[in-house]
Amino acid sequence: MQLLKLASVTAITLYSLYAYPCFGQVSGPSLKTAFQQDFLIGTALNGRQISERNEKETQLIIREYNAITPENVMKSGPIHPEPNLFNFEASDRYVAFGVKHGMYIVGHTLIWHSQLPSYVQHIRNADSLSHFMKGHIETVAGRYAGKIKSWDVLNEALEEDGSLRKSIFLQLLGEDYIAKAFEWAAQADPGAELYYNDYGIERPEKRKGAIKLIKSLQAKGLRIDGVGIQGHWGLNGNNLYDIENSIIEFSRLGIKVAFTELDISVLPHPSGVTTADISQNYAQDPKMNPYREGLPQAIQMAQAKRYEDIFKIFIKHKEKISRVTFWGAHDGQSWLNGWPIKNRTNYPLLHDRDLMPKPAYTSILNLKTK
Ligand code: G3I
């Protein structure tokens, strides 16, 4: 047994020397240093990363990123599971991680139609739902006042055509729920920036709906500091014009623009349309999971070019952009391995499953260092 243990320690040590010379001292500029004059560079953190379970992952995260977003631990279901019960253990650990490592700490998300606690899903009267909303926002945003720098106050309140999503909030409270969410968030944490966050709002039709929502808040004298364009995109590069126009048009409202959940899927989407509606799921099909054995070099390079083209636009408009956050630190953690089809092997992020930088990482870094 001792011999086996010695062999495994040796193997890990040799890997460390290969992957991270001098035990984790990766040489060269990191993403956060390369873009330090432009915008924050962030990543979403899952529960294991928040708990620093894997030293190599922790080293990668603190080396490359200066902003963090909780992938799941601050959603209303996990954090407010019963009417009079809040579960702050994981969210406190998340904020503590950010404070410990000097990160810009993002809160995600106060009001979202998805991941609601089951008791909320069964509410049928307006007063009860309003009571939940107010108590949730005051308690959660109030708890982290002074530590969380920016809240995704409201997430995904729009349909694909830009109309308001017919969520339980709209059905019971009418569109005024949106103003109430931002009013209560501003009262609970006057120091945090307040964002509206959504996917697909780079597309003109849905973008118009987001602009209307933002202008409506501003017309009521309510504070909204920024808009989060999630950025769940694919290899198809036909949206660069829309991405640039959305930065320009949102910025004209006098608010900041953040790209809050960036990833580039390399797998086919069953419906053909790239969206991020978490409620979508499709049956498993081998044709939809073509890279189980690994990602071909040609696809690696296509993804690298796609990220490079997107970041050229970000750099061009860097004064309008507050933050670019990737929806994960490496391919192995990505939600896209399980959506919209379960158990696929996707490669959407900048580091691979062995925590090694991919050509996409190098292509972005080269924009600032070459
Ligand atoms: O924690 C439970 C675990 O206890 C349980 O055993 C397991 C079995 O179902 O579920 C676990 O919760 C899962 C959670 O991720 C944590 O892993 C949920 O089922 C699963 O639905 C949830 O998926 C997350 C999804 O949002 C829905 O909340 C993804 O990880 C997360 O990447 C994704 O992120 C969203 C953003 O918040 C908003 N924008 C779209 C983006 C992608 O959908």
Nearest 5°: the CA angle 262, 166, 187 is 70
> CA torsion 322→327→329→330, rounded to 10°?
-140
pLDDT at 237 over 60: yes
Cβ of 4: how many Cβ atoms within 10 Å?
8
Give the domain range for residue 247: 35-274+284-302+328-342
Residue 236 has pLDDT above 60, yes or no: yes
**Exposure letters 127-151 (e unless 16+ CB within 10 A, then b):** eebbebbbebbeebbebbeebbbbb
Q: Does the beta carbon of 115 lie inside 6 Å of ligand 1?
A: yes
**Whether the predicted pLDDT of 73 surpasses 80:** yes
Predicted confidence band at 277 (pLDDT cuts at 50, 70, 90)?
Answer: confident
Atom of ligand 1 nearest to the CA of 339: 43
Closest atom of ligand 1 to CA, residue 334: 32
Domain count, the chain: 1
Whether the CB-CB separation of 117 and 82 falls below 8 Å is answered with yes
CA of 335 to the centre of ligand 1 (A): 8
Range with the poorest average pLDDT among 75-84, 161-170, 270-279, 333-342: 270-279
Question: Is residue 309 domain-resident?
Answer: no
DSSP 52-77: T--HHHHHHHHHH-SEEEESSTTSHH
Instruction: Give the per-residue pLDDT at 6.
Output: 57
C-alpha–C-alpha distance, residues 111 and 215, integer Å: 19
Regarding the beta carbon of 230 and ligand 1, being less than 6 Å apart is answered: yes
Report whether pLDDT(18) > 90: no
DSSP string, 264-287: EE-SPPTTSS----TT--B---GG
The kind and range of the H/E element at 138 are helix 126-143
Query: Looking at the domain assignment, is residue 315 inside a domain?
Result: no
DSSP string, 331-349: GGG-GGGSSSBSS-----S
Ligand 1 site, residue 263, Cβ cutoff 6 A = no
The model's confidence at residue 142, banded by pLDDT at 50, 70 and 90, is very high
Q: Is residue 93 part of a domain?
A: yes
Say if ligand 1 is within 6 A of residue 71 CB: yes
C-alpha of residue 310 to centroid of ligand 1, in Å: 26
Q: Which of 107, 17, 27, 88 is nearest to 63 (CA)?
A: 27
Q: What is the CATH number of the domain that holds 190?
A: 3.20.20.80
Q: Is the CB of 225 under 6 A from ligand 1?
A: no
The tokens for 132 are: 């939940």
Q: For the segment 332-352, what is each residue's pLDDT rounded down to a tens digit?
A: 999 999 999 999 999 999 999
Q: Among candidates 198, 182, 333, 349, which has minimal Cα distance to 259?
A: 198
Determine, yes or no, domain membership for 205: yes
* Residue 227 lies inside a defined structural domain of this protein: yes
Angle between helices 204-219 and 176-188 (to 10 degrees): 60
Q: Is 82 a catalytic residue?
A: no
Look at residue 25 and tell me whether its pLDDT is greater than 70. no
| 357 domain-assigned | no
Q: What pLDDT sits at residue 223?
A: 98
Active site residue 261: yes
Give a yes or no: residue 310 inside a domain.
no
Output the CA torsion sign for 351, 314, 209, 268: negative
361 domain-assigned? no
Mutate to test the pocket of ligand 1, among 43, 45, 69, 72 (most ligand atoms within 8 A of CB): 72
